[in-house]
Amino acid sequence: MPPPPRDLTIRPATVSDLPRVVALFAAADGNERDQGKADQQPLDPSYASALLAMARDTYNRLYVADVAGHVAGVFQLTILQHVAHRGGRIAQVETVFVDPSERGAGVGEAMMRWAIEEARRGGCFRIQLTSYKERARAHGFYERLGFVATHEGMKLPLR
């Protein structure tokens, strides 16, 4: 894997990042939920409401990979407090997307390595993620970073 761009920083997402972030969500393979939303002007206010709610929660944040002032990737990192595991903490990574034009340039690896280190700093004993079954390329990427498929996930749509 190539080294990340030298001018890459990981930072919390801001409301001004949302049009770009939603465009990354919409560009993702099989992501019907946000397709068409990225072109709406103004952007649906539910995105900003969700981001502002997350900003008040120190254990749940949306981050962007900023390359020279351009949002090249996005991911969510949530710290889950457990009673099991002797009250241990687990980091959960979700909505990992890299701009298709930036894939293979080290942006995704930089985001994931940052998330792993942030989980360690947060006292987590494990970091985990979910990924749609059809995303074989993403699964190979996560495996190269040391992730192992240990569970079968299930979902129940509520709407």
CATH number of 8-144: 3.40.630.30
Domain definitions of the chain by residue range: 8-144
CA 142 to chain centre: 13
pLDDT at 140 over 90: yes
Q: For residue 40, what pLDDT is reported?
A: 57
The C-alpha atoms of residue 133 and residue 153 are separated, in whole angstroms, by 10
Radius of gyration of the chain from its Cα atoms, rounded to whole angstroms? 16
* Mean pLDDT computed over every residue of the chain: 89
Evaluated on CA atoms 147, 5, 72, 116, the torsion sign reads positive
Q: How confident is the model at residue 26 (pLDDT cuts 50, 70, 90)?
A: confident
The C-alpha atoms of residue 20 and residue 2 are separated, in whole angstroms, by 24
Which residues are within 8 A (CB) of 142 and not within 5 positions of it... i.e. 6 or more apart? 112, 129, 131
What angle (nearest 5°) sits at the alpha carbon of residue 140, between those of residues 126 and 107?
Answer: 80
Q: For residue 91, what pLDDT is reported?
A: 97
Q: Are strands 60-67 and 70-81 parallel, antiparallel or unpaired?
A: antiparallel
Instruction: Output phi, psi for 116, to 5 deg.
Output: -60, -45
Phi and psi based region of residue 125 (left: phi greater than 0; alpha: psi -120 to 50; beta: remaining): alpha
